[in-house]
Amino acid sequence: MTDLTDLLDRASDLGEAPMPVADDLTRARAALRSRRRRQGLVTVGSLCALGIIAGLGGPAVLDRSTEGSPRVIETEESQLFSADVTEGPYTFGKLPVGWEVQGSYPQGVTIAPVGFPDQHPASFIGKLVIMYDQNPLYGEPTEYNGREFYSRTGGDADTVRVRTRAGEPEGVVSVQYPDSAGWDVETMMEFLDAVEVGQGALPGLG
Amino acid sequence: MRTSDRDAEFTAFVTARRARLLRAARLLAVGDEALAEDLVQTTLTKVYVAWPKVQRADDPVRYAHRMLTNAFIDETRRAYRGRERTQAQPADPANLVAEPADPTLRDTVMAALAGLAPQQRAVVVLRHWLDLDVEATAQALGCSTGTVKSTNSRALAHLRTALADLTDDLTIRSTS
């Protein structure tokens, strides 16, 4: 009689392995610095031009300690601010501080950090992508504000999905966001809950 | 949270958990030591970046398990392997591991696991090596408990056949 757990235990045991904790820490610190660099630095001028500087809140602070234009430094968590922005058939009640709408189409909207190098709205890497489709829900279910959201995290791009409300086109609205942006699922549920899907929306394929 | 606090807590977490994460990764990667190490590095990096959230989680270890299985599933979905490495020189797996105590057993078990679909393998590792219950396994994989049960059932049927050379009486510890 042989137990499966014992077999797996013996098969995975290669004796004492080195414990490269210092390497793990160095690698992790570099990833965190990279994430903060990508998400946190936007110019005040750009924010003013978009008229969103008044909406800054939470942990964002102005940094005037360096030469040149002052910058907005995001601290631990990215923040949302209240908005009333309509792009095509989609209306956003909240937007992330320091991000802007790049483009909209009937199937969705692309939102990117202000000044993001890749300005093509059909390119999704490093951006928030709001999509409407009629595919099945998947992921880990979590109730938020009376709705059941489904999240999938851990990949290069995380997703949160939720059924559209009554009165909106039937289907699922989702947000895909870069893991490097540092948002947690609750923040993205808050963001997605404030998205309204209008009658002009068309379901994406795939 | 101060960086020094995060570093100290992360170091303690890695010291306590890395070995077991690596062994789980070995089973998922069916003996590919380089891939197993990559999965662990990816997992630990995500854990560090999300450390405030990890701390708020009911069970940081469970969070790490979810990151590990997600990294593995994502890896299997990639058409090619082109992960970014932050080390100047990737670690040579030959320098990282010792020989298994029973190479025949290890090869047979790894071959049996290799015959499973990625999600089946993940369910087996989570349920029968990491000892997660059905609900926790479903949370880690982002699927329903029914899917975990049916996937596990098919995986065990395969393993009973594939491990017949090692044992004709494979037993399964009962977990809820």
- B10 CB-near residues (< 8 Å, 6+ apart): A24, A25, A28, B47, B48, B51
B145 neighbors B134 (Cβ within 8 angstroms): yes
Smallest CA-to-CA distance from B141 within A153, A142, A179, A183 is with A153
Distance from CA of A187 to the nearest CA of B (A): 12
Contact A7 B109 (CB under 8 A): yes
- Chain B residues in contact with A29 by the CB 8 A cut-off are 7, 48
A28 neighbors B48 (Cβ within 8 angstroms): yes
Report the run of H or E that residue B153 belongs to, with start and end: helix B145-162
Pick from A27, A151, A154: which is nearest to B71 by CB?
A154
| Cα–Cα distance list, A25 to B7, B25, B34, B122 (Å) | 7, 19, 19, 26
Low-confidence residues in chain A, pLDDT < 70 = 1, 35-78, 155-156, 205-206
pLDDT of residue A206: 54
**Looking at the complex, does the CB of residue B175 fall below 8 Å from at least one CB of chain A?**
no
Under DSSP, the state recorded for A62 is E
Contact B131 A26 (CB under 8 A): no
pLDDT of residue B3: 66
pLDDT of residue A180: 73
More confident residue, B140 or B24: B24
A 113-172 near B (Cβ less than 8 A): 138-140, 150-156
Contact A35 B49 (CB under 8 A): yes
Contact A29 B7 (CB under 8 A): yes
Beginning with the edge strand found earlier in the chain, give each strand of the sheet holding A80-87 in spatial order.
Answer: A80-87, A90-96, A195-197
Pick from B18, B26, B156: which is nearest to A12 by CB?
B26
A1 is written with which tokens? 């009689």
Contact A28 B49 (CB under 8 A): yes
pLDDT of residue B5: 80
Smallest CA-to-CA distance from A129 within A144, A150, A112 is with A112
pLDDT tens figures, B93-123: 444 455 677 888 999 999 999 999 999 999 9
**Looking at the complex, does the CB of residue A59 fall below 8 Å from at least one CB of chain B?**
no
- Chain B residues in contact with A78 by the CB 8 A cut-off are none
- Chain B residues in contact with A15 by the CB 8 A cut-off are 97-99, 101
pLDDT tens figures, A182-191: 788 888 999 9
Q: What is the DSSP string of B32-88?
A: -HHHHHHHHHHHHHHHHHTHHHHHHSS-HHHHHHHHHHHHHHHHHH-SS------SS
pLDDT of residue B163: 92
pTM, entire model: 0.56
Contact A1 B131 (CB under 8 A): no
**Looking at the complex, does the CB of residue B27 fall below 8 Å from at least one CB of chain A?**
yes
ipTM for this prediction = 0.85
B173 is written with which tokens? 């510890």
Q: What is the mean pLDDT of chain B?
A: 83
Distance from CA of A139 to the nearest CA of B (A): 4
pLDDT of residue A178: 85
Contact A19 B129 (CB under 8 A): no
Cβ-based burial of B136 (10 A; exposed 0-12, middle 13-18, buried ≥19): buried
Strands A147-152 and A157-163: antiparallel
Contact B124 A154 (CB under 8 A): no
| Cα–Cα distance list, A140 to A128, B60, B143 (Å) | 20, 17, 7
Separation of alpha carbons A161 and A176, rounded Å: 9
Pick from B14, B53, B170: which is nearest to A4 by CB?
B170
B 77-96 near A (Cβ less than 8 A): 86-87, 91, 96
pLDDT of residue A96: 86
Residue of A nearest to B175 (CA): A5
Residue B2 pLDDT class (50, 70, 90 cuts): low
